[in-house]
């Protein structure tokens, strides 16, 4: 983007593909991290006199307009963050008459947000021609493309992959920062390199574990995915989350960890209850603490226990590099937030370089009241950062490098 700025952007229509896919409670944004992350790029362009068109997806609407997934709240928040001088216009469609009118009404230095890209089926289509046709219409709105939606670079979608091929294209500040940080974990990692993985589904993490078994020194496992590991070790897990079909793969990974000298650390105790907590009322759940190899048949594990918290903190204490992705338990309920808090705190206490993978763990760090600036880096990409670490070619990065 510095190259673009030095060429001069006054009067140019610059399309910024951002990731404004923020969590919403109705129309209230519960974590605006992703919006704040794109401000430097939008501000630099607006200050340099560009006519900035910010575009993003939000949620997973079904290829047609759906008010529940409107970007209007995100546009309003972007306007607040940019400050008084830069009003943000909002177009109620993506490539229709509203978007055209809004964009042609922009003066130099002004910013517009267009409606959710996924309100058009062409955005996510698997059909190259359909995607290209939508990208053509988006290209008609702009002169230049800036990719800055790091959270979506793993998606082969029209605005991420096809559109940059149709316009002069540049990477924004956020993408440059994110890639710079993740490169440190893949190309030149300082050891010990400790990775903490949590979250509900082990299937989402298999590919990254596969890579990490040749890279990391220690892997700490928590969250719902831990129960498939415990089961693979031969323990009963009651009614905890379990992906039976993944047990053979998990067993193979445990063997490979041992062979490669990677320390794979599993919970030694867990918090259990007979039912999932009410996340709306947050009524006390009164969980019991049990050993990880003694989960009662009618109970479900919902967080790592106090001994595991201490164990994981000690395994993180001497790390030179830490990557953490996925909560350790149902942190949205106060009775099950301690495991996730303990890992976040251990990252803060670590003298090493700490990276929080996006998605739930980034939201957890902020909603649990930690100072986000105290971490080495909080990624805005959950799936994107995992796929980067898996070594995959990410369509949105490939298109920019092209």
The residues carrying an active-site annotation are 34, 201, 359, 383
Say whether 256 counts as a known binding-site residue: no
Question: What x-and-dash track marks residues 370-399 binding ligand 3PG by CB under 6 A?
Answer: ------------xx----------------
Nearest residue (CB) to ligand 3PG, 338 versus 360: 360
Residue 147 makes contact with ligand 3PG by CB under 6 A: no
For residue 64, which of 115, 103, 139 has the smallest C-alpha distance? 115
Residue 17 makes contact with ligand 3PG by CB under 6 A: no
CB of 37 to ligand 3PG, least distance (A): 12
Residue 151 makes contact with ligand 3PG by CB under 6 A: yes
Identify the residue among 16, 146, 152, 343 touching ligand 3PG (CB under 6 A).
152
Say whether 118 counts as a known binding-site residue: yes
Residue 300 makes contact with ligand 3PG by CB under 6 A: no
Q: Contact, 242 vs 200, CB < 8 A?
A: no
Identify the residue among 1, 12, 19, 387 touching ligand 3PG (CB under 6 A).
19
Name the E strands within 165-293: 169-171, 193-197, 218-221, 263-265, 269-273, 288-291
Residue 164 makes contact with ligand 3PG by CB under 6 A: no
Residue 325 makes contact with ligand 3PG by CB under 6 A: no
User: How many chain residues bind ligand 3PG (CB under 6 A)?
Assistant: 9
Say whether 77 counts as a known binding-site residue: no
Say whether 325 counts as a known binding-site residue: no
Nearest residue (CB) to ligand 3PG, 171 versus 384: 384
CB of 59 to ligand 3PG, least distance (A): 7
Cα 248 to chain center, whole Å? 28
Say whether 358 counts as a known binding-site residue: yes
CB of 148 to ligand 3PG, least distance (A): 13
Interacting positions 51-90 with ligand 3PG (CB under 6 A): 60
Helix, strand, coil shares, percent, the chain, to 5: 40, 15, 40
Torsion of CA 61, 62, 63, 67, to 10 degrees: -40
Q: Which stretch binds ligand 3PG (CB under 6 A): 148-156, 201-209, 246-254, 299-307?
A: 148-156
Alpha-carbon separation of residue 220 from 85, 308, 362 (angstroms): 47, 10, 18
Ranges of H-type helices in 222-337: 226-232, 247-260, 306-317
Identify the residue among 199, 222, 223, 359 touching ligand 3PG (CB under 6 A).
359
Instruction: Quote the Cα angle for 27-33-39, to 5°.
Output: 100
Q: Which stretch binds ligand 3PG (CB under 6 A): 94-102, 137-145, 147-155, 176-184?
A: 147-155
Residue 192 makes contact with ligand 3PG by CB under 6 A: no
- 124 vs 223: CA distance, rounded Å: 30
| C-beta atoms surrounding 361 within 10 Å | 27
Q: Which stretch binds ligand 3PG (CB under 6 A): 107-115, 151-159, 314-322, 365-373?
A: 151-159
- Token pair belonging to 181: 């940080």
Alpha-carbon separation of residue 60 from 21, 55, 117, 394 (angstroms): 10, 15, 10, 20
Q: Contact, 315 vs 189, CB < 8 A?
A: no
Residue 48 backbone phi and psi in degrees, to 5 = -85, 5
Q: Contact, 73 vs 139, CB < 8 A?
A: no
Identify the residue among 155, 205, 333, 341 touching ligand 3PG (CB under 6 A).
155
Each residue of 107-145: b (16+ CB within 10 Å) or e?
eebbbbbbbbbbbbbbbbbeeeebbbebbebbbebbebb
Residue 357 makes contact with ligand 3PG by CB under 6 A: no
Q: Which stretch binds ligand 3PG (CB under 6 A): 149-157, 195-203, 278-286, 303-311?
A: 149-157
**The length of the chain, given as a count of residues:** 402
Annotated binding site for ATP: 205, 301, 332, 358-361
Question: What is the contact surface with ligand 3PG in residues (CB under 6 A)?
Answer: 19, 21, 60, 151-152, 155, 359, 382-383
Annotated binding site for substrate: 19-21, 34, 57-60, 118, 155
């Amino acid at each position: 983007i510095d190259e673009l700025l030095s060429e001069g952007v006054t009067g140019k229509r610059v399309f910024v593909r951002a990731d404004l896919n923020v969590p919403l409670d109705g129309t209230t944004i519960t974590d605006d991290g992703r919006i704040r992350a794109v401000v430097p790029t939008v501000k630099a362009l607006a200050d340099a006199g560009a006519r900035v068109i910010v575009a993003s997806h939000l949620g997973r609407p079904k290829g047609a307009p759906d008010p529940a997934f409107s970007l209007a709240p995100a546009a309003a928040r972007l306007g607040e963050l940019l400050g008084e001088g830069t009003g943000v216009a909002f177009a109620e469609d993506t490539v229709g008459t509203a978007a055209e009118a809004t964009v042609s009404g922009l003066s130099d230095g002004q910013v517009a947000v267009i409606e959710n890209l996924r309100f058009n089926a062409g955005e996510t289509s698997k059909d190259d021609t359909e995607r290209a046709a939508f990208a053509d219409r988006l290209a008609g709105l702009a002169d230049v493309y800036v990719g800055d939606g790091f959270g979506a670079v793993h998606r082969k979608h029209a605005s991420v992959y096809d559109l940059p091929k149709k316009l002069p294209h540049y990477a924004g500040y956020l993408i440059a920062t994110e890639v710079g940080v993740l490169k440190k974990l893949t190309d030149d990692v300082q050891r010990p390199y400790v990775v903490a993985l949590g979250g509900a589904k082990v299937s989402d993490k298999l590919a990254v574990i596969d890579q990490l078994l040749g890279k990391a020194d220690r892997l700490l496992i928590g969250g719902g995915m831990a129960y498939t590991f415990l089961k693979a070790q031969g323990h009963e897990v009651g009614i905890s989350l379990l992906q039976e079909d993944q047990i053979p793969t998990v067993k193979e990974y445990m063997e490979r960890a041992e062979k490669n000298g990677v320390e794979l650390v599993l919970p030694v105790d867990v918090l259990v209850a007979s039912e999932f907590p009410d996340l709306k009322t947050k009524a006390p759940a009164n969980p019991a603490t049990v050993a990880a190899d003694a989960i009662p048949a009618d109970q479900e594990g919902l967080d790592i226990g106090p001994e595991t918290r201490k164990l994981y903190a000690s395994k993180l204490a001497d790390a030179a590099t830490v990557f953490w992705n996925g909560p350790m338990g149902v942190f949205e309920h106060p009775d099950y937030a301690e495991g996730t808090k303990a890992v976040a705190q251990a990252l803060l206490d670590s003298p090493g370089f700490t990276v929080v993978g996006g998605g739930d763990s980034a939201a957890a760090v902020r909603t649990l009241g930690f100072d986000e600036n105290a971490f080495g880096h909080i990624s805005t990409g959950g799936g994107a950062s995992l796929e980067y670490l898996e070594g995959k070619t990410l369509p949105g990065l490939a298109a920019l490098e092209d």
